[in-house]
């Protein structure tokens, strides 16, 4: 990971930042100079460990905040915590996501509330709470979408709907928040097998991986670098876009 100062003095809130892709995004942004508020729901130990490691590299540059994103009432406090800690907010990364199968005939209201809440409702209400601060800093929002927002995944009806909604949210927010705030999305393919991916057999995984045009499974760093780009001034004329970072996987679906 190259160290730079692209984000020196800037503050970014990353949801679901304690582990996996969220943690890699946090490390990438921190290496570029950002101060970070790491959101987590239940991974307190992982969040604290990551914050401690990053603060050793740059003291007082990272803080953590616990919140259940399904509790909409808590979301303004999450945004406020970043502003109170660092005095500003320059970026919001809506990374946190639930993922599990909901085959037709087995869907219930709890499934709907969980998947829609984490993947769509929380990104909307977080962006709404963050909007005044982001406008003041001429900041940006990046949402983690999914290539299955465009091409639904069998047995994942509600998840596919939620991610499709998040993609439309990206475009809608780009209109609502322009010209002060840019809003874009990143759509992973087979970059990291999500928790809950036991739905896919070993043979299915092998077939999916073999179909990727660039010949390899993606890595969290591929997504993290793209998120950093979209938050940065290098993407100053890009808004309302969802960029597939999938090695070409979406081309062959």
Q: Return the active site residues.
A: 159
Spatial neighbors of 183 by CB under 8 A, at least 6 apart, are 127, 140, 141, 142, 143, 170, 173, 174, 177, 239, 240
Q: How far apart are CA 246 and CA 230, in angstroms?
A: 16
The angle that helices 122-137 and 157-177 make with each other, rounded to 10 degrees, is 20
Tokens at 157, concatenated: 């009806």
Report the side by side order of strands in the sheet with 140-144.
62-66, 35-40, 11-14, 91-94, 140-144, 182-188, 242-245
CA distances in angstroms from 109 to 97, 102, 115, 159, listed in the order given? 17, 11, 10, 13
CA-nearest of 92, 54, 61 to 75 is 92
Tokens at 179, concatenated: 């010209």
DSSP secondary structure letter of residue 120: I
């Amino acid at each position: 990971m190259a160290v730079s100062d692209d984000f020196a003095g800037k503050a970014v809130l990353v949801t679901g930042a304690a582990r996996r892709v969220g943690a890699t995004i946090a490390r990438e942004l921190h290496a570029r100079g950002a101060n970070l508020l790491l959101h987590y729901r239940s991974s307190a130990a992982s969040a604290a460990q990551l914050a401690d490691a990053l603060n050793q590299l740059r003291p007082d540059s990272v803080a953590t905040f616990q919140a259940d994103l399904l509790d909409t009432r808590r979301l303004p406090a999450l945004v406020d915590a970043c502003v109170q800690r660092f005095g500003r907010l320059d970026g919001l990364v809506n990374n946190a996501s639930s993922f599990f199968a909901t085959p037709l005939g087995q869907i219930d209201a709890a499934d709907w509330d969980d998947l829609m809440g984490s993947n769509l409702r929380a990104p909307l209400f977080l962006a709404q709470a963050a909007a005044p601060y982001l406008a003041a800093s001429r900041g940006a929002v990046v949402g983690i979408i999914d290539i299955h927002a465009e091409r639904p995944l069998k047995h994942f009806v509600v998840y596919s709907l939620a991610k499709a909604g998040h993609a439309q949210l990206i475009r809608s927010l780009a209109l609502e928040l322009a010209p002060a705030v840019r809003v874009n999305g990143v759509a992973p393919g087979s970059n990291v097998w999500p928790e809950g991916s036991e739905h896919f057999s070993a043979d299915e995984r092998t077939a999916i991986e073999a179909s990727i045009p660039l010949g390899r499974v993606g890595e969290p760093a591929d997504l993290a670098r793209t998120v950093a780009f979209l938050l940065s001034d290098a993407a100053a004329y890009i808004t309302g876009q969802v960029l597939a970072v999938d090695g070409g996987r979406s081309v062959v679906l």
